A and B are shown apart, each in its own frame.
Chain A
Amino acid sequence: MFFEYLKSEFLNIFKDKAVLTTVIGGLLFYAVLYPQPYLNQLPLKQSIVVVDHDNTPASRRLIRYANATPQVQVTGLVGSISEARSLLLNQEVRGMLIVPQHFERDLILSRSPVIGLAGDANFFLIYGTVIEGLAGAVMSTGATARVRELMMSGVPLSLAVKDWSPLNINVRPLFNVGMGYLGYVIPAIFILILQQTLLLASGLIGAERLKKHGFSLVHAGSLFGARFAAMFIIYVLLTQLYMGACFEYYGISRNANIVDLWKMIIAFISASVTLGILIGLLLPRRELAAPMIMICSLPMAFTAGFIWPRELLPEPVLWISQFFPSTSAIQGFLKLNQMGAEFHQVLDHWWILWGLSAFFTLLSLLLMTRSNRSI
């Protein structure tokens, strides 16, 4: 009985054009489309405008330093702050650098002049980049002044260059070392895409046959098993495509031990497939699958912890998000693949995925064996 069902499940999937386009077409489409915004990795050379009230060699050196940073590029020099502001408003520039009058004099007299830096904080990433670049330029100017001062008081150049600051914190990135956007977004979002297309496909295959009438437990079990097996096989293969060829192509690191990775993949696909079957049983019409599943994508992405720290999520949000397989899967896969964690460090996530699988299976079987269904 089971194998007959399995055969017809496969036939159903491959006969149904809508399902096939979602599964194969959707996955290929997203694999190309989703990384598009991030292919340039980092926003660099953001244009800034300078208001130089000083116009001295020192102020010009500061502007040169700013221009030399990879983050910003001086594209304009205006006479007043209001002019700079209107450029910023029209988004012709992303930030401004304001050099006060008597900058050079105050620098020489050790009066610690104040440089004004500003950016449009509506765009966090650009703002961060601009301020990082400008603050770097200001620091270099300060360092130059400090080194010169030290040398004047008799400290040799080599020592002055090394010890101009009494202490430093050497801040270094780990895992996504280049701090690029691709390596940040893709390994996580591809897991979500796998889950969402899987759910959508399950919703589309619909559960017409599965929800006709109250089944006996054995009957329900083998129908459920066949659907599970078919989807599981297809998606395990597609996961190989995503985590193999696609990660390779986009240069995403794959540090996980292959056995650990497989253990996680199996748990993740099981949880997603069982959830998919459950959704199929709950939705009365197959056209509802796409809207209902897609509107959940954003909440799923933002509770998975790779964008916004899970430590800061309110308790109810934290609880609800545990019911999405993507939440535990993304954390587990990121730790294994990107951060080189051992399997015992991701056991929590793994067990949650199995717990979800059991929970969704139970609910599905319950729905299928109930005789008077009114959903």
Chain B
Amino acid sequence: MSLFLVDFKAEILAVRKDRWLFALVFWLPAIISLFMLLIFSAGQPLNLPVGVVDLDQSTLSRKTVRYLDASPVLSITRRYSSVAEGKADLGDADIYALVVIPANLSRDAMRGEAPSISAFFNAQYLLIGKAIRSSLIVIEKTLAVELDAGKTLVNTPVIKAALATALPVRSQISALYNQNMNYATFLVPALLIALFQLVIICVTILSIGKKTKQNESPVGTNLVTRLAGPLFLYTCVFTIHILASIAFLYGLLDWPHQISLSGLVPLVILFVIACQLLGAFFFVLTFDLVKSLSLAGAFAAPAFAFLGVTFPASDMTVFAQVWRNLMPAAHYMNGFLNQVSYAAGFAHSLKPGLLMIAFAVLIPVIIYRFKDRQEEAL
């Protein structure tokens, strides 16, 4: 036990002396987290630049343009006299969408001939494109209702009935759990956990690597037990780090949540330990700092795509599903979302928790590899 404490203290000194390791453990994750938060500070895609070609120049077409501009998502930044000009700017991504109002819009609408406005949006930027498409559909409905109600009102002077003819069935759409549809609350927690997974794995490798180098010649004591002290230090540091970042987002910034500490804390601790085990595993694969860090990087750097937050895990290929199950972050994220959104207690953290405990199968592998190596050294 005293050896454990000695190693623990020695590691604290070592981290304080090595300013690169110190940065990696303490302030780099914090700075990058804040940077990610700043990226999404707008919360939703708003005021996206859109161009308009108004070939009709009527009261109705001007009203359409006004409606487009009034939508929070769109902002009419360019007006063109021909479609060709607008298309060039689309290819340049100066505008994300081009709305073409045909000549005779007003005349056709008056005659009840259902004119068609064309809108092209840039689907290369998928998220932006989808936001634009949905707001155009809303505007289409609004315009249709208004035109129709205007016509019906001539015959039936009851506004409610007029509205009903225009919109025979209405729908009320509820976004559950992430009510304000905020992209920051949707993406940032997953981005942070992908980042922490990478950092914890790398720090573990760096720390074990250094220890192994120091202890290479004297055998006597078992190397694996000497690792417990330093690793425990990082378990504490990163658990606090992650809990602090969650406290910052959901406490200080007041993001909506239903987190219970009894559900969250075990998840975080298990996540940190699982990442550390993975780090140790990568190291004993090669016993070479540089190579194991490259392996770890290759494994953990693209983790975000596999978390299933942007693209649903259930729709991934079998290979991707297997791969994502090898990541503590994927299990953690499942448990964490239960915590944030569904007022789920400790019980709902059980399954992801157990899946992360499963990383303990790496322990015998790690011990065996270390023993093997020590015997080789003898």
Contacts and interface: CB of A to CB of B under 8 A. Distances in A.
B329 interface: no
Nearest to B322: A36
A167 B112 CA distance: 9
A170 B298 CA distance: 44
A230 B88 CA distance: 38
A222 interface: no
A134 B297 contact: no
B19 to A, nearest CB: 9
Contact of A167 (B109, B122, B167, B302): B109
Interface stretch (A3-11, A116-124, A269-277): A116-124
Interface string A127-148: 1100100110011011101100
Interface in A81-140: 88-89, 107, 110-128, 131, 134-135, 138-139
Interface string B82-99: 000000101111001001
A288 B315 CA distance: 36
A141 B294 CA distance: 56
A149 B152 CA distance: 13
Interface string A152-179: 0000000000111111111111111101
Interface in B144-185: 144, 147-148, 151, 161, 163-165, 167-179, 181, 183
A260 to B, nearest CB: 13
Residue in A114, A119, A165, A338 whose Cβ sees the most chain B Cβ within 10 Å: A165
Contact of B164 (A111, A134, A341): A111
B117 A335 contact: no
A196 B125 contact: no
Contacts of A115: 169-172
B121 interface: yes
A340 interface: yes
A113 B169 contact: yes
B309 A123 contact: yes
A145 B20 contact: no
Contacts of A313: 38-39
29 contacts: A18-B294, A37-B324, A43-B312, A111-B164, A112-B163, A115-B170, A121-B176, A121-B178, A122-B340, A125-B311, A128-B134, A138-B171, A143-B168, A166-B148, A166-B151, A167-B147, A169-B118, A169-B136, A171-B137, A176-B123, A176-B126, A196-B301, A204-B294, A287-B209, A295-B195, A298-B32, A308-B45, A308-B183, A339-B124
Name the 9 nearest CB pairs between A and B, nearest first.
A173-B123, A121-B175, A291-B202, A121-B178, A112-B164, A290-B293, A36-B320, A312-B42, A145-B168
